Structure 1
Amino acid sequence: MTKFIIKDDFWELFPEAEIAVIIVKGIQNTEAHVSAVRQEINELLKQSSKEATKFLTADVFSQNKVISVWREAYQQFKTKKGVRCSIEALLKRIEKGTGISPINPLVDIYNAVSLTYGLPCGGEDMDTFKGDLLLTKAAGGEPFLALGDEEYDNALPGEIIYKDDDGAVCRCWNWRDGQRTMLTENTVNAFLIIESVDPDKSDDLESAALLLAELTKYLGGSAKIAHMNIVDRELTL
């Protein structure tokens, strides 16, 4: 059985981190399947974008707490120059007023949850994993072709990554997913994840996981939630 394992080298850096995993199986992530509720999903994304302005109260963008905690986290490990966590990238678009464009139903749903709670959310096609999925420090050189790129940009030594037997799945913890494991209209079984490094957001993390699991109803299938921390660090997928 494939497992998700958070390794000791991660916990040495982030002993207070909490991660919610939502395993969704038997979904239909197609526009045809959600055609009757597409407007609801669009409205969800629109309303969450408005709600996310509550996280932008500081005069300086980087001083907002949901951003500063991740800036500090990224200073704890080797990163590709200039990269930021996924929630900062979303909130930057909110600050600029450019909005969040629809991508595909499941990505739109987890982006809405991310904006609602100010937490990074991500997702992978579970059927593309090769062996166990690990959250760990990179050895360096793990193959990685990022979404939207045409050339490989492999992991750096000491970088926090999600990886499997074939290489990196997501670089710089939650900066960017790879093309090999991305969610598509053909995805049937999905691995969704919500991350927190702020102990004050434990309740938000739990609520976000419940909401994300509930919203996958638009796609059919079933959803199961698991909460992981320094004690519970291994999950059978």
Structure 2
Amino acid sequence: MNEVKLTVSNEILRVCPQFCLSAIRCKVKNTPHNNQLWEELEAFSAEFRSRYSMEEINKREAILATRQAYKKLGKDPNRYRPSAEALCRRIMKGNSLYPIDTLVDLINLVSLKTGYSIGGFDLDQIRGNLELGVGMAGERFEAIGRGLLNIEGLPVYRDEMGGIGTPTSDEERTKITAETTHLLMIINGYSGRKGLPEATSYSVELLKKYAEAREITIFSSTEF
């Protein structure tokens, strides 16, 4: 598998000194749909609607911290919502999530449960190492399913070819597809380390259960 080193820029650490991440690298088998996983996701969605109100979503610790990082970088989190918040709001509106494929559905479930905005990438499409920095004016970023996204002021992971992931959306070039066999999953803790180990363990459990994950390597930000 592609050996990727991850670093966090001083630009990010200045506005969010508590930032931590957890990254999972593994071999996987993606499938178009997994009924058991989808039932688990639907069951959690129903539970979520019974526990939260729309007004409480952006006060969840991980979501709130991501929004605060956006504001400090000059980005409006109501216009460019973190993906975890967008997923939660969709559920609260009574709308079902769109099934994509097993890996993406799995990542969405973890994001919903934890409030973390999670990057899911085809590791074989990443070129060189990754650094988490801040988007620049005019920087090209083709967001998955939504076209060109203005990432100026957004936290963004870049490889040697350009941006591949923000908390709002990932990029088309490195997205998960039916052909993905090597996964890089990055859990972004703008709220700090608290909760990251549990989210990582849960992610690995799901990856083993639904995507036949093997050769699993886990990194924390302190190791980068």
Q: TM-score range by the shorter chain?
A: 0.7 to 0.9
Counterpart of 2:8, as a letter, is I
Query: 2:70, 2:154 within 8 Å by CA — same for their partners in 1?
Result: no
| Matched position secondary structure for 1:214 | helix
Residue-by-residue CA offset, 1:88-144 (whole Å, 9 max, x unaligned): 101101110102221110011111111122222220111111221111123444321
Give the Cα separation in 2 of the matches to 1:76 and 1:117.
23
The unaligned stretches of length 5 or more in structure 1 are none
Give the Cα separation in 1 of the matches to 2:111 and 2:67.
17
> What corresponds to 2:109 in structure 1?
112
Choose from 169, 187, 198 the match for 1:194.
187
Choose from 201, 205, 209 the match for 1:210.
201
Cα gap change, 1:19 to 1:138, in 2 (>3 Å)? same
1:46 aligns with 2:48: no
Give the Cα separation in 2 of the matches to 1:233 and 1:225.
10
Cα gap change, 1:140 to 1:131, in 2 (>3 Å)? farther
Shift of 1:15: 0.9
Counterpart of 2:189, as a letter, is S
Shift of 1:210: 0.5
Query: 2:60, 2:115 within 8 Å by CA — same for their partners in 1?
Result: no
TM-score of the superposition, structure 2-length normalised?
0.86
Query: 1:109, 1:215 within 8 Å by CA — same for their partners in 2?
Result: yes
Aligned residues: 219
Give the Cα separation in 1 of the matches to 2:57 and 2:217.
35
1:99 aligns with 2:90: no
Give the Cα separation in 1 of the matches to 2:52 and 2:123.
34
Q: How does 1:56-71 map to 2 (within 5 A)?
A: 56-57=52-53, 59=55, 62-63=58-59, 65-71=61-67
Q: How does 1:18-167 map to 2 (within 5 A)?
A: 18-25=20-27, 27-31=28-32, 38-53=34-49, 56-57=52-53, 59=55, 62-63=58-59, 65-79=61-75, 82-150=79-147, 152-153=148-149, 155-156=151-152, 158-167=153-162
